[in-house]
Chain A
Amino acid sequence: MKKTVLNQVHRDLGARMVEFGGWDMPVQYSGVIAEHIAVRSDAGLFDVSHMGEFEVSGPGAFAFLQFATINDLSSLVDGQVQYSALCYPDGGIVDDITLYRFGAEKYMLCVNAANIDKDFAWLQELEAQRKGNYQLLNRSVEFAQLALQGPKAAAILGALTSADLLSLKTYHFCESDVAGMSMIVSRTGYTGGDGFELYCAPEDAESLWQALMEQGSSQGLVPVGLGARDTLRLEKAYALYGHELSATILPLEARLGWVTKLEKSEFCGREALLKAKSGGIRRQLIGLRLTQPGVPREQYIVRSAGRDVGQVTSGTMSPSSRQGIALALVDTAAASGDAAFSIVIRGREVSAEKVKLPFI
């Protein structure tokens, strides 16, 4: 199993470790609910060094990425981050990514940990088909990544950096110093609140972790594991690859229509997605909230008007609302109909209502 450079730090903190996408990662320190609440009310620190980073550079970088990704790079400026995805020619999703523009000829892609090898092999395959004046590099081992998230994140980070955080807007980044170490400071995250993702050299990760904890602990900063990372993202209805997104799910089915720029120019998957759109999207990702006690879980069957209409892709008990919440991929007719929903839990139908997303 792969380990991040902070593995021993987590063990020393008494974290419970689990396997996630081939990595030995902390699932919780004090407890999922306490960590979740801390991120919503104060701040949390996550080790997300397992994420992958690719660089695409050179005069042909823009054209290559415009073909490889579904969002439109032409709207991106230097220092801006864009949420996007890689698709197969049939429109299925290879991965969802964030794309960083350092300059017109230099970009970084942040990809999911479990997909690093698959994504890079896929991009190399596209590269072989579309020769051009650009270079594709897998730089994942050169970065550790910490996510500092929550309403107090800016105050904690602000005390340790010369970066002008007041003018660093959401989905923008800069190269700066934090606690005397140089790194990428990105105002992004996976919790739905304010926060930062810090990309540093692996050898600096432990010093950065300690500096942030020392600065933040008096303001309520706590270490947060993958358990709360999942409940935090689910309350905000952010997709997780392998659950809401996969090679057999189209971005148009999974609420990624807003990043699927069908009109931009030719891109991998475009033909299939245009065809799917004109033929009618068969399934839709919706939000369900249980109106009776229970906890919805992945793969539980969703029923409406007496028939099975789909499955839960992610479900949990929302730590914020203490209600069962689920994202579910269901038939479009059911998704847009008026009939009530239920989720089958251990053979019993538990009532649910369709709700506007995000959940909170």
Chain B
Amino acid sequence: MRLSELKTGESAVVVKVLGYGGFRRRIIEMGFVRGQEVSVILDAPLKDPIEYRIMGYDISLRRKEAEMIVVMTLSEAKKLAHDDTPLEIGQSEIMKHAVASQHKNITVGLVGNPNSGKTSLFNTLCGRSEHVGNYSGVTVDAKRGSLKFKGYNIEITDLPGTYALSAYSPEEIYVRRHITENTPDVIVNTVVASNLERNLYLTTELIDINPRMVIALNMYDELENSGAKFDHEALGEMIGIPMVPVVGPTGRGIEELLDTIIALHENRDKRERHIHIGYGSVIEENLEELNRSLRKHRDELPAYFPPRYFALKLIENDSDVTEMLRSLPHFEKWNSMAQRSRTEIEEALNTDIETAIAERKYGFVSGALKETYTAAEYSRNTLSDKLDDIVTHRIWGYPIFFALMWFMFYCTFTLGAYPQGWIEQGVEWLYDTVRGVMSEGALRDMLTDGVISGVGSVLVFLPNIMILYLFISFLEDSGYLARAAFIMDKVMHRMGIHGKSFIPMVMGFGCNVPAIMACRTIECRTSRLITIMVVPFMSCSARLPIYMMIVGTFFNEWAGTALFLLYLLGILLAVISARLMRRFMFREQEAPFVMELSPYRVPTAKTTLRHMWSKCAQYIKKMGGLILIASIIVWLMSYYPRPEYSNNEDNAPRYELSYMGKIGQFCQPVFAPMDLSWQASVAILSGIPAKEIVVSTMNVLYAHPDDDVAADGEELSLHAQQRIANSMSTPSAVAFLLFSLLYLPCIATIMAIASELNWKWAVGSALYNTAIAWVVAWIGYHLTLLIL
């Protein structure tokens, strides 16, 4: 019986806990373990929750949760033991024996595609001869059979064949209802070994439900005869589900299958673990938001499925799940969140929600098979296969990838140079106009040297940022990035992390904050931690203006290549750091997991341009916000105090006596070994809130008219860029570049690390990055000195 059926004052012993993995764990942790006595303190029929006593303390459970706990009363135990002794004598022994024997009853559900050999397998298992037809739809009803194996009674239900577990066909609804209402202890998912891709789609649906499951690789002899190669153990390890090759009609593999069923029931199978299917950033973002809301009220939800499953089905507008949840108090809120998510996903991916999710599931399956399955030669002839043969070629894949990266940076610099020049001219015109129109004074200086120089110097890099994001969006949307992650997997493994870490690292080239958030898709804790710690080495787009300023001034002829080498250095240091962390801090072996290979798509111009525009709008918004404030503050601190109010006995230049000058001189000793001026030191410090401020600070500090004039009486050029070029040697410029590349990330990134890990790691990351930056900058300075 179920715990919810007990009346007030009655006692029983826990036999087993049903429901999905997370729910079972939670209930077991509360104390509802097998053999434990539980008694009902208060169970009012219309009231919820019910109060119980277990392990000496009182606990409340909702009726829905109590329904998922199988218990046995003493009278039931005596009936099972055929015992007529009075209840009060030898009760605990009878209970123990009865519970143990109940536990030896295992219920199994056979789930699989139509024509996947379920019934054939059922017949072999149960020694029956149910009719097996060579067409789908033969099994229109569930059949039950049983067998005894190694002291266990195994009851098997052969369910109708389905391709999925949605709510469209009667068979699908029937199978899903069976899983919820009958809650089999173990699901056996029959998968046709010679048609893995289609069959594993249903497996992904089952993974979402999170039951205890074993995959029976049926018709395995056909796969072996076809010439294809398949590492089923590796795949099973990756997806956390044991896989057993079987041949239904002959009985090959049956004993191993039954052993695995028993091991799963007894929680002894180490291969079993729960994974999530990754649905891509657009769907995951929405899914996680709804999942979070559902989890807050998980006590209200039916315990058959995890909250994430309900979230996914609500977004899919699954009618069955909608009906299941309709009566719940928060249903309206969840339903409207799901509707909003559905609209957002369909707009972003330019397809309907069912197709979007199905594509991601097939992407998961493709990724899994890519690593473990090699088809016989004749079947690899689709366009997608041909493309994959090229871009994921074990030798040519790498140069293709690096060539694409180089091309991306080259275009960022060269194509962006044209609109950059136009914006520069516009800024200069504005500067000269304001200076010409206004009379001399503090306000004029603030507007020209503070606002226009500061904000304008960052605005000029807008075209470059746009081009960079255009490339990143295109690579992501086309599906190439997933392939690149695949070929980089071996390299990532050498680094001590997984190929899945590659995508957050590439996202870091745009911005470190979402890159760090994207690390949540990495299942392994240590890989996730290492990836988060090395993401700051991926130079974000905010640092690009700094590079453009210095590279454009000092390395103009080969600027694109210099930029590429700079990014490459960041990646190299990330590799070394990851390796060191894996070797000295996190030695544990990680479980392998699947990298999704979503299908190739030609990204629509509309979506790509929309992505680009949203980044562009954010950048412009930042100009009017943080950059403007920072430029004015930096100007104020470098303009005051005025010379007439300061003690200037040594006739030092005005700006050195300013507040900013004093801060700079205080910090300057840190950068003196690299011959960096106090202005450069202050600029580096100003990059803590946002890296773009470094450029605006440099331009504000160098925009002040020099008090000195040239020997022939002409004023020196007021162009800040020229001043920067004059104030730095090439080795110092290299040191400045390297330091800017590597030192602590912006505050937002540090906070993101703190949120994902903790403050200890966040502060550690900032200090580590800055220390590496100083050392590398120092080395770069001296190497450049040697070369020049």
Do A and B form a real pair? no
